[in-house]
Amino acid sequence: MKNEVKPKIKIMKTIFKMIYVKALVITALLSLSSCDNNDVDPFGSASLKVVNAAPNSGSQKFVMANIPYIGDLDYLDHSVSYHDVASGNNLVSQFRDENDNNLYATEELDLDDDKRYTVYLTGESRSDSEVRLYEDNISAPSSGKAKVKFIHLSSGAPSNIDFIDGQGNNLALNITRYSQSNYSEINAGSLSIQVRGNGGTENLAMLQPTNFASGKVYTVFIAGSSASGYAIEQILHN
């Protein structure tokens, strides 16, 4: 009888050992998976502006690494100032519907310490929406100048576009969809801006005369489509 009990005990010990090892493996895998997201630098910080450039998105809220930063962003709305956020890698960044918190778009972003960025919601619908990040440089322009960069955020415009002022002078040429130009300095004062397909003569959209103040840094972007309507928007960064 004693000889029958011992094998059973050994079998039970073996089974429990196998279960324990499997549990350790599962725990390790879950731990590795969680490390893939929201690798936050506990000692670093970055600065972030948030823009809703998605025409049909309705009111949105922005959440990064499970922290809500701003809400009630309708189309072309943006945060007035930069938000202080944690820097890090694979930071899960989401735009969610303001009313029901349904996910609209998500992306994992990398933010470097002490850098400034603007994050945009783009796309004509939920199915083609994207979260896009662009680094900003707010170093001061020359005296009497404003500094500006141009971004192509329109899914409906030609893939390459030109930004031209009201007098027909080139501001930024051949800007590819979802890319940004280099910064350039312009004379401070009122300026109207037109957007055309690269090399074209027909205006897709126009920004009415708008002030660009001396010493300030701006982004000008186009969003929308022929269906939703094109729009050119100016954002102040300092």
Averaged over successive runs of 10 residues, the pLDDT of the chain (238 residues) comes to: 49 47 38 60 94 97 92 96 95 96 97 98 96 98 98 97 96 98 98 97 96 98 95 98
Tokens coding 60: 């949105």
Count of CA atoms in the C-beta half-sphere (13 A) of 47: 12
- Same domain, yes or no: 50 and 28: no
**pLDDT at position 66, please?**
87
**pLDDT at position 63, please?**
96
**pLDDT at position 141, please?**
98
**pLDDT at position 36, please?**
60
Among 136, 158, 184, the domain boundary falls at: 136
- Same domain, yes or no: 162 and 125: no
The answer to whether 88 and 67 are in contact (CB under 8 A) is no
Q: Which domain holds residue 99?
A: 36-136
**pLDDT at position 28, please?**
35
Contacts 24+ apart (CB under 8 A), 97-104: 97/58, 97/59, 97/60, 97/61, 98/58, 98/59, 98/60, 98/61, 98/71, 98/72, 98/73, 99/58, 99/59, 101/61, 104/54, 104/57, 104/60, 104/129
Give me the CATH number covering residue 171: 2.60.40
- Same domain, yes or no: 131 and 164: no
Q: Token match 């729009």: residue?
A: 231
- Same domain, yes or no: 156 and 117: no
- Same domain, yes or no: 95 and 163: no
- Same domain, yes or no: 152 and 238: yes
**pLDDT at position 6, please?**
52
**pLDDT at position 11, please?**
47
Among 104, 136, 168, the domain boundary falls at: 136
**pLDDT at position 19, please?**
46
- Same domain, yes or no: 205 and 163: yes
